[in-house]
């Protein structure tokens, strides 16, 4: 019987983990860091090419989360799963042309909202067999306020934030957490003039929070500054809203 979310510390040892977008950036950093916890297996998802690192505990699996057939195939291939980390993402800067901007928004909404939810639905039956099932969605501190030039990205991440709160209501037997990193040194942020967090340091902070079964993880300096402004308030409001329609 799955344990109640937040009831006990979580141990990654001998656990089965699936990470989407594990071949580069923060996904690759998470993959490498999880290996230090002696997992049972890491199903490392990639869309076009696997990462440039190997380990006997890593199972590279081609997974395009925007393709229903690909999602179904990977879900059918995984017998046991304890942790799903929805990490795959894209960043399209705001386009001046309204038609192009709408297309960009649709693409990012599909990548950051619809596709992770589709993957979750496909894997929930397998997750529910675990005694401590966990879903971790990589969101962004930009879910709380728009960043100029990245409005569509922020909209899609705000949607994933709301969806993660909804997942906690929909699946009370599964620990559903959100991660809210600040700008991080990855391919996605190449050329950025903003201070960038180190991906490996962020991965270590994320996994520490995961093992503490936090529902919201702010893994770097910029993210912690956002948490100081909104973290407690958002958590309180979410808790209050759980009883909003109960009377």
Q: Consecutive sets of 10 residues in the chain, 247 residues long: mean pLDDT of each?
A: 57 98 96 97 97 96 97 98 97 96 98 98 98 98 95 98 97 98 81 84 98 97 96 92 78
| Tokens encoding 209 | 């929070």
Q: What is the pLDDT of residue 44?
A: 98
Q: What is the pLDDT of residue 189?
A: 66
Q: What is the pLDDT of residue 245?
A: 76
Cα 105 to Cα 93: distance, rounded to the nearest angstrom:
10
- For 30-58, write each residue's pLDDT tens digit: 999 999 999 999 999 999 999 999 999 99
Spatial contact of 140 and 202, defined as CB atoms under 8 Å apart: no
- Where are the strands (E) in 31-102, listed by range? 41-46, 58-62, 83-86
Q: What is the pLDDT of residue 74?
A: 98
- For 99-135, write each residue's pLDDT tens digit: 999 999 999 999 999 999 999 999 999 999 999 999 9
| Tokens encoding 3 | 């344990």
- Where are the strands (E) in 49-116, listed by range? 58-62, 83-86
- Which CATH number applies to 16-241: 3.40.50.720, 1.10.3720.10, 3.40.50.1980, 2.60.40.790? 3.40.50.720
Cα 74 to Cα 88: distance, rounded to the nearest angstrom:
15
Measured over all CA atoms, what is the biggest interatomic distance in the chain, rounded to whole angstroms?
55
């Amino acid at each position: 019987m799955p344990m109640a979310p937040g009831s006990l510390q979580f141990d990654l040892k001998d656990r089965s983990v699936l990470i989407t977008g594990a071949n580069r950036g923060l996904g690759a950093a998470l993959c490498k860091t999880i290996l230090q916890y002696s997992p049972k297996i890491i199903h490392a998802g990639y869309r076009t090419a696997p990462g440039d690192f190997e380990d006997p505990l890593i199972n590279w699996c081609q997974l395009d989360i925007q393709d229903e057939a690909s999602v179904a195939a990977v879900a059918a291939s995984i017998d046991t799963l304890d942790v799903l980390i929805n990490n795959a993402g894209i960043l399209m800067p705001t386009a001046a042309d309204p038609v192009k901007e709408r297309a960009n928004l649709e693409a990012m909404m599909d990548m950051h909202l619809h596709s992770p939810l589709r993957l979750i639905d496909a894997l929930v039956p397998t997750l529910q067999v675990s005694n401590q099932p966990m879903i971790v969605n990589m969101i962004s501190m930009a879910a709380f306020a728009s960043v100029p030039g990245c409005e569509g990205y922020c909209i899609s991440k705000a949607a994933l934030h709301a969806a993660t709160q909804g997942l906690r209501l929909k699946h009370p037997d599964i620990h559903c957490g959100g991660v809210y990193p600040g700008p991080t040194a990855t391919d996605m942020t190449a050329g950025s003039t903003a201070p960038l967090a180190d991906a490996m340091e962020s991965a270590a902070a994320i996994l520490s929070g995961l093992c503490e079964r936090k529902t919201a993880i702010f893994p770097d300096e910029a993210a912690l500054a956002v948490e100081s402004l909104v973290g407690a308030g958002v958590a309180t409001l979410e808790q209050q809203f759980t009883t909003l329609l109960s009377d």
